[in-house]
Amino acid sequence: MKSSKLNSDVCRKTNINGSNIKQSNIHEGDDKPYSYVTCGKESVTLDNVKQQKRIRYGKKLYRCEVCSKQFRFNSELKKHEQMHTGEKPYTCAVCEKHFQTSNVLKIHQRIHTGEKPYSCDICGKQFRTSGNLKRHEQTHTREKPYSCSVCGKQFQTSNGLKIHQRIHTGEKSYSCLVCEKDFRINWELKIHQRIHTGEKPYCCDICRKQFSSNSSLKEHERIHTGERPYNCVVCNKQFKTYKAIKYHERIHTGEKPFCCTICGKDFRSTSDLKMHQRKHTGEKPYSCDVCGKQFGTSGNLKRHEQTHTGEKPYSCAVCGKNFRTNEELKIHERRHTEERPYCCKFCRKKFKTNAELKQHQRIHSGEKPYNCIVCDKQFRTSYALKYHKKIHTGEKPYSCDICGKQFGTSGRFKSHERIHVEVKPYHCAVCGKDFKTKCELKIHQRIHIEGKSV
């Protein structure tokens, strides 16, 4: 490699390394006496010219004594060393939070001041950092120049690709000192640590509710504004959060990047995988404060808690029936609309709910994931397993108030009650005949079907 030369801008005298040029005496009155021959950039001091040479040729003269990482400049090394020492010499005057660099402190202070100096030229949206603006601008261009060599997935930033690759490698280099939980990303660790500290620095201006992360605050604010900024390019469905649209997009692509190490089943999200793994471990981390019953998911706990309160805030506009959850209401409304959005890929039979479809598909696959621990008999549904267990326990929790007869299931109990009251809620649409049970109606309907086929 040829030595880079330094030129005087006035006399054009050259020097190989600049050591013979005195910064204070060359061509008095010149503001920038040094010019770097390779790129033509001018500089006030010889040190700046040397920095340009390091940038140009990638020289890294400063080495960290702890991890041996190399840096071009001493200032970069000093910032890096603070990661090992934990030193945070810069303090926010408002919330007293500490930071490793003055630049990070300045960015943080914009949370308190509301300053957003970076503006998008296309939509006018404003941002606190230039990095956030650059990432936002790529949502307009749809440009994703970084590609994963393992699965081919594309990303807008090199940092996004690096974080994604940790899914394949399993790398989690950030660890919580309190509970030893590991994380792939430093900011995930910081947000997690607030669970232990109770810190919630982000506050909603409308209802004053506080949050541990800025992203949680933004998601919450959309409850007030009704904003759904994320749009699916396939079906045009809109979402409040980036996470929600990513999960939704995998419905169209069929992508399931998260795999259970025990049974090999794949899932669209880490949360789906975690819930599934609790079937293997038997873990039920959510407990009811009223009766102590435990649940595998927070959603199941919430639905259970409503059995104590009797709360049913969701009402059907057609028949007025009330429901505990919005999901239960949506499923019920399909009775009125006859909508069956879930279709079996094997026999094309349609179902009202995804759960019904999954249960049905086990007929084709022969899968029976529910095992009796007493006799090892296998079942397609958790309901069938629960019903079977009562054979071993002899449990019959449902008792008739009129004749005292006991039953193992609520379905059989309800069918029995109709003997006493003569209620026949199941109606044949062909001949108008009424029946006490759904089973009786189905048997009867075969008469019409067989009659047509003859």
User: 1-85, which class in CATH?
Assistant: alpha beta
- pLDDT value for 347: 92
Q: Which two tokens stand for residue 53?
A: 């040479």
What's the confidence (pLDDT) of residue 163? 86
Rg (alpha carbons) of the chain, rounded to whole number:
33
Q: What is the pLDDT of residue 10?
A: 44
pLDDT digits (tens, 9 = 90+) for 121-172: 988 888 888 888 887 887 787 778 888 998 888 888 888 888 888 888 888 8
The pLDDT of residue 364 = 92
pLDDT at residue 58, as a whole number: 58
Where along the chain do the CATH 3.30.160.60 domains lie? 1-85, 398-453
Q: Residue 128, class by beta-carbon neighbours within 10 Å (0-12 exposed, 13-18 middle, 19+ buried)?
A: buried
| Residue 360 pLDDT | 92
Which phi and psi (to 5°) does residue 258 adopt?
A: -110, 120
pLDDT means over runs of 10, the chain (454 residues): 44 45 42 47 53 58 83 81 79 86 86 88 88 81 84 84 86 87 86 88 89 86 87 87 87 87 88 88 88 87 85 88 86 88 89 88 90 90 85 85 85 81 84 85 85 54
**pLDDT, tens digit, for every residue of 35-74?**
444 445 454 455 565 555 555 555 667 888 888 888 878 8
For the domain made up of 398-453, the CATH class stated in words is: alpha beta
First to last CA, the chain: 93
